[in-house]
Amino acid sequence: MSVVTPKDRRPRPGRTGVPEDATTEAPLALWFSDGWIVTRRNLTKLKRSPDMLVFAVLQPIMFVLLFSQIYGGSIEVEGSDYTQYLMAGIFAQTVIFGSTFSGSAMAQDLKDGIIDRFRTLPMSSSAVLIGRTNSDLVLNTLSVVIMMGTGFLVGWRVTTDAGSALAGVGLLLLFSYAFSWVMALLGMSVKSPEVINNASFMILFPLTFISNAFVQPQNLPGPLETFANWNPVSALVQAVRELFGNTGSVPVPDAWPMQNALPMVLVGIVLLLVVFVPLCIRKFASISSR
């Protein structure tokens, strides 16, 4: 009698070469194993490209120093020191920009034919996406740690307890992880890796700069003020400011998202995952079957 091992139970490619989804037909442990293997592959690739890692680390340091030391003396915030007001916005901007790695990496893998190689392996197709977004989460975690250290050097401080501070960091990383799925879908939708940077900036620049990240929304023109108050990035920044204790006596806009920033962000994270994870998996299955 032959013994069926866990390896034998892994899904096999069909006629088109597309593996069946291990999330439904393989044990959950194998699905996690596939995701971890792809995550490790992406982190190893990052380790072998130190220039990408260096620039990913230097960018948040540059933003902290640029806004706090150069622009900080020219920008006044009612009820707070600008450095304390600024840091939550820098945190949010950096982790959101960091999510673009998912899009550019997916576009590059498609161009290089790596996805075609994954198709021939007995693995979950969704594990490729899980591994991609997980590795970006690791990179964003490193960026947040470095930004916090740089912030302390320029005078930024956390004035709440350790639990609230950890919750603020966790909220930033959760939002960045959810947004990575948006960028992954964009990366699979463009024609070439060169397009992804321009396409992503068309989305990210309005979200990050027309917000409360760097200036108070009430100082913006009418339509832009409304956009900033209902911008999910503004809710993220406001929630992180509250968790880090950096709100001071800055007046909070009357808009519902600003008055209920933490629930707004949590609902937004859930919606992003519910909408874009299935869309990404469906898109990946579509391009893998070509």
Please spell the DSSP secondary structure of 28-76, one letter per residue: HHHHHHHHHHHHHHHHHHHHT-HHHHHHHHHHHHHHHHIIIIIIGGG--
Residue 74: which pLDDT band, with cuts at 50, 70 and 90?
confident
CA–CA gap between residue 138 and residue 36 (Å, rounded): 12
pLDDT band at 165 (very low <50, low <70, confident <90, very high): very high
Q: What is the CA radius of gyration of the chain?
A: 21
Residue 1: its pLDDT value, please?
A: 43
227 in a structural domain: yes
> How do residues 203-245 score in pLDDT, each as one tens digit?
888 999 999 999 899 989 989 999 999 999 999 999 999 999 9
| Segment among 22-31, 58-67, 153-162, 276-285 with least mean pLDDT | 22-31
What mean pLDDT is reported for the chain? 82
Q: What are the pLDDT digits (tens) for 18-64?
A: 444 434 444 566 667 777 778 887 777 777 777 767 777 787 788 88
Cα(288)–Cα(290) distance, integer angstroms: 6
State the Cα–Cα distance between residues 87 and 114, nearest whole angstrom: 38
Residue 267 has pLDDT above 90, yes or no: yes
Residue 246, both tokens: 């950096």
Q: What percentage of the chain exceeds 90 in pLDDT?
A: 35
Q: What percentage of the chain has pLDDT greater than the value 70? A: 83
Tokens of 129: 């996406």
**Sole residue written with tokens 């947004």:** 179
Q: Please give the pLDDT value at position 28.
A: 64
Q: In degrees, to the nearest 5, what angle opens at C-alpha 165 toward C-alphas 161 and 171?
A: 145
Per the structure block, which two tokens stand in for 185?
């879908």
User: Does the pLDDT at position 160 exceed 90?
Assistant: yes
Mean pLDDT for the stretch of residues 187-194? 81
Q: Which residue has the higher pLDDT, 189 or 191?
A: 189
124, pLDDT greater than 90: no
Average pLDDT over residues 170-193: 90
Answer whether residue 20 is part of any domain.
Answer: no
Extract the tokens encoding 277: 């994870």
- Please report which confidence band the pLDDT of residue 134 belongs to, taking 50, 70 and 90 as the band edges: confident
Strand, helix or coil at 241?
Answer: helix
Query: Quick check: is 191 in a domain?
Result: yes
Residue 16 lies in a domain: no
pLDDT category at 103 given cuts 50, 70, 90 is confident
Angle at the Cα of 100 from the Cα atoms of 96 and 106, rounded to 5 degrees: 150
pLDDT of 259 strictly over 50: yes
Q: b/e map of 129-162 (b: 16 or more CB within 10 Å)?
A: bbbbbbbbbebbbebbebbbebbeeeebebeeee
Whether 271 contacts 174, CB under 8 Å? no
90 in any annotated domain: yes
**Does 188 or 265 have the greater pLDDT score?**
265
Q: What is the span of the domain harbouring residue 140? A: 52-111+134-288
Contact 150, 57 (CB under 8 A): no
> Taken in order 184, 120, 15, 35, is the CA torsion positive or negative?
negative
The confidence band for 187, taking pLDDT boundaries of 50, 70 and 90, is confident
User: For 190, how many CA atoms within 13 A lie in the half-sphere containing its CB?
Assistant: 23
Question: Does residue 81 lie in a domain region?
Answer: yes
Mean pLDDT, range 170-195, rounded to an integer: 89
Cα–Cα dist 200/38, whole Å: 24
| CA dist., res. 204 & res. 256, Å (int) | 23
Q: Is residue 41 part of a domain?
A: no
* 35 inside domain: no
Cα of first residue to Cα of last residue in the chain, in angstroms, is 39
> Total domain count for the chain?
1
